[in-house]
Structure 1
């Protein structure tokens, strides 16, 4: 959950600090007062892309810092302490600095942490209900961990299929060109095959020849080293004796034990090194015939590199490619048939993984249908019926990036009405309730500890508003819930009520935030109930709403 937020030089915010608490928190204020700006600043801590335009005019950088408290499961999965600090700094160039517990980190790590803590619903999120392409993601979020694993398995197989398909199409287009180059390719294959090229061979030969060219220097250096290490002036045993002396007194001081260990390791390491150097000296040998053969081989390899304008490693790859072209020329149809069989197998493997993912998505879809229908009934859509339909697979099913599935959200909002696409029949208020239900279900299933809503209750009023407020209150018992709202019913249900406003200070407009006491809450809610000036009736209504809670 969010414990504290500190925002500096962000849009209309000069310097704002605010504490947050468990339960339901309502954020209210006039249009343009800065409610969404506050939410934008919090979104930066949840991994939203930074923008230099957010920096307050006249400032060189903007800074957002949030203190969060993790639950046991979040601590375990993220390997972090219970209280953490996340911060995001943006400078005038658009660059950003991310810190986690005051240590520089990455955007990927920030998103990983934020996704475990909570989610933010922006005003534009409800428009996603108009896009069928987003429906698969809605289902997947019910169990993001497992669906992502299944999707990854599918994507690996899909990648293999696309690589083979690209190769197959390339082979088909090269048929004419290959047939015209048969004689030339045959000559090149014969020439390159005769050289028996090997990857990294030239580099290895050059290293060996360099060693042989410097044989005398190497031999002399090794000989002198062996003589020095075995000479009377080099006392290896002194190291061992020193180690034994310190070992005898190690119980008196920890530092003696540490130094004794250093001497012991040095003795055995040096002893091993002396033996290795002696073996290197004994094994040293100069074979003139081998030296000449290696030099001749280097000459041949350099010559073939110059002729083809390719490195030996590239020539190894090139030889395999032109051999494949020749195979095409001698049995083009047969070779293509083999590639087609491989391609079909790769497609079937990818489709198989896609079907595994589809099966699990269908299980999640049934669960989502049930939970979402129950939620809609509690939000004054008592006759709503909801169904997730999977489109029938085709004989040559396309392998899309998110799987093989295309979904349609079908809904009936009134008794006796048939199921129809959600995007076509739901009103703004109905879509708002649908999205609120979705986000609530996701939060519970993902065991999040924080939910933020930006006017998710827009288009809702009257009796329905009371039911939405009750549902938010119920949700906030388990998940810290922050909501920017224009509904007096929601504001009255809140455990904490903050007013966001802007006013001129030091010659500039600034956004401020205040936590409201009971008297100020009455006036704030009455203002939400009034058209212009607050009436006595609105004040009485505001008191009544607060007394109900």
Structure 2
């Protein structure tokens, strides 16, 4: 459960701490005092979308910290490797900065807003006034039904079968084309394949040709350089080369090399130089013989490079990419040529998969219809407890439209119908439910669905809109019963609901030094009586109003003692 909420610089709140207890917690206060700001702060620390406008005017950042206790083993913990401490406590914080950046931590470990939101959805369920509109949205009714029935396993099995069916549908569609389009595509592929095959592409060829072109364009300069170097080393008719001179030097030193070690060393160096010069001369001679260029070779190399350049414009930026394109084209050609056989096989598989998918859909539908009967009974019982004894509730089923009558959710279209008064036909909720009735229906649905949830904290933000009198008392009793299963926090304007609280907090707004501040005060019994009197009679707290508030408190205490 949520045990502590710390807020800094959120809207009108400079700094506030809210210590929440188990059971039924209630927030009351004047309109505009800042009750919804506290709910916004909780939403923020749970990872919901926020705006920098939430930051208090003049401040650089806002901070919300929440401490949770006695948490169950949530899937999020295993998925993210972050766990409550040894005492079972988990501290979550979110800092919202003016530059739009968010700093989120879970158990002191940094995490993303996306991770925080995933965790928040497993910790707290916030039910606001807009949730009544979800009840009117028939697109949500199927999800409500599946959640109540715990039909996730059956739905997953069906969806796996449907995905296989849809995959086969896409494969068939990709192979189906009219004959004219098929003929055009075959012609294009055959032309492209033949053109690429005639080119006889070879990886690395382009680089080799570029290098050869560079040599060919400098052929005369290369030949002259090589011949000049060879003559300088090996000599010619007009001069002795370096090798001959080194041989002469070696011969000159040979008679005296034994006179001293230094002469022997020098003689060795000269001999090494002669061997090196002779080796270089032989290599230059071999290179000179290889520089036998055909006058037409440069034209042939440049022509081949031009051909590769033209092909690259059509089929890829390199020879390797063009070869990959050729491979893909061959595969596509084979697929088209074999399409008729493949289509027959795929259609056979699709027929078999459709039968399997329909079977899964029928299993899911049967479970849904059985679940619908249980939901009908539970909702009607909850609504009787909420002072709607004559209400009738029903789940209406219809077949999905379309040729298959299936989509990713199954074969069923579902909508909730009700009749709030005797003698009235069952109709869509939107056409028969008033605002107060919607609030009670939603509360009944939340109460029923909460039985299957692991969520330990439910927050109701002014969902009592349109409820008054006896109905308000019934809503208060229902929330009190609900708080025996999980922690409940309710923002309310109704004295009957506030009187039922186990912990009561008043939200006050005040002005100080030209600024507006919102504070949260934990009320004792006398403070609660005065707050209930204010909710009932406004600012003038007469003796009669205070006695009425005292009576509400005694009645609430008697109810809770007798639960």
The bucket for the TM-score relative to the shorter chain is 0.7 to 0.9
SS at match of 1:456: coil
SS at match of 2:412: coil
Contact 1:33/1:502, CA 8 A, preserved across alignment:
yes
Q: Does 1:380 align with 2:380?
A: no
Deviations 1:500-542 (A, max 9, x none): 1211134211211101122221111111111553333211110
Q: Does 1:420 align with 2:420?
A: no
Matches within 5 A, 1:496-515: 496-515=503-522
Match of 1:465 among 462, 472, 476: 472
Q: CA deviation at 1:38?
A: 0.6
| Corresponding residue of 1:135 | 141
Q: CA deviation at 1:54?
A: 1.4
Q: CA deviation at 1:114?
A: 2.9
Contact 2:400/2:407, CA 8 A, preserved across alignment:
no
| Corresponding residue of 1:38 | 38
| Corresponding residue of 1:217 | none
Contact 1:192/1:319, CA 8 A, preserved across alignment:
no
Q: Does 1:103 align with 2:109?
A: yes
| Corresponding residue of 1:89 | 95
Within 2, Cα distance between the matches of 1:47 and 1:405?
33
Number of residue pairs the alignment of both structures matches: 444
| Corresponding residue of 1:7 | 7
Within 2, Cα distance between the matches of 1:66 and 1:414?
44
Q: CA deviation at 1:22?
A: 1.0
Q: Does 1:481 align with 2:488?
A: yes
Deviates more, 1:128-137 or 1:358-367: 358-367
Give 5+ residue unaligned stretches, structure 2. Answer: 208-304, 558-563
| Corresponding residue of 2:228 | none
| Corresponding residue of 1:69 | 69
Within 2, Cα distance between the matches of 1:355 and 1:77?
35
Within 2, Cα distance between the matches of 1:97 and 1:345?
52
Deviations 1:2-37 (A, max 9, x none): 100011111221211111101111100111111111
The 3 A distance-change label for structure 1 pair 422 and 479 is same
Within 2, Cα distance between the matches of 1:133 and 1:380?
28
Within 2, Cα distance between the matches of 1:183 and 1:10?
68
Contact 2:376/2:395, CA 8 A, preserved across alignment:
yes
Deviates more, 1:316-325 or 1:417-426: 316-325
Deviations 1:259-316 (A, max 9, x none): xxxxxxxxxxxxxxxxxxxxxxxxxxxxxxxxxxxxxxxx9xx999847323544543
| Corresponding residue of 1:317 | 328
Matches within 5 A, 1:141-180: 141-142=147-148, 146-147=151-152, 149-173=153-177, 175-180=179-184
Matches within 5 A, 1:10-25: 10-25=10-25
| Corresponding residue of 1:185 | 189
Contact 1:142/1:446, CA 8 A, preserved across alignment:
no
| Corresponding residue of 1:241 | none
Contact 2:391/2:421, CA 8 A, preserved across alignment:
yes
| Corresponding residue of 2:378 | 371
Within 1, Cα distance between the matches of 2:56 and 2:532?
31
Within 2, Cα distance between the matches of 1:44 and 1:453?
16
Matches within 5 A, 1:340-355: 340-355=347-362
Q: CA deviation at 1:399?
A: 3.9
TM-score, normalization by structure 1: 0.73
Q: CA deviation at 1:453?
A: 0.5
Within 2, Cα distance between the matches of 1:359 and 1:96?
46
SS at match of 2:33: coil
Within 1, Cα distance between the matches of 2:329 and 2:446?
55
Contact 1:4/1:68, CA 8 A, preserved across alignment:
yes
| Corresponding residue of 1:283 | none
Contact 1:189/1:322, CA 8 A, preserved across alignment:
no
Within 2, Cα distance between the matches of 1:196 and 1:480?
76
Deviations 1:151-203 (A, max 9, x none): 44444444444444345445444542321344443455578899999xxx979
The 3 A distance-change label for structure 1 pair 404 and 196 is farther
The 3 A distance-change label for structure 1 pair 96 and 405 is farther
The 3 A distance-change label for structure 1 pair 363 and 93 is farther
The 3 A distance-change label for structure 1 pair 13 and 323 is same
The 3 A distance-change label for structure 1 pair 191 and 53 is same
Q: CA deviation at 1:394?
A: 5.2
The 3 A distance-change label for structure 1 pair 317 and 159 is farther
Q: CA deviation at 1:366?
A: 2.6
Larger Rg: 2
Within 1, Cα distance between the matches of 2:180 and 2:196?
24
SS at match of 1:58: coil
Q: CA deviation at 1:545?
A: 0.6
Deviates more, 1:308-317 or 1:119-128: 308-317
Q: CA deviation at 1:70?
A: 2.6
| Corresponding residue of 1:59 | 59
Deviates more, 1:434-443 or 1:313-322: 313-322
The 3 A distance-change label for structure 1 pair 44 and 358 is farther
Within 2, Cα distance between the matches of 1:181 and 1:417?
64
SS at match of 2:519: strand
The 3 A distance-change label for structure 1 pair 83 and 415 is same
Q: CA deviation at 1:430?
A: 0.9
Within 1, Cα distance between the matches of 2:158 and 2:423?
41
The 3 A distance-change label for structure 1 pair 484 and 77 is same
Give 5+ residue unaligned stretches, structure 1. Answer: 207-298
Contact 2:68/2:89, CA 8 A, preserved across alignment:
yes
- Give the superposed CA RMSD: 3.3
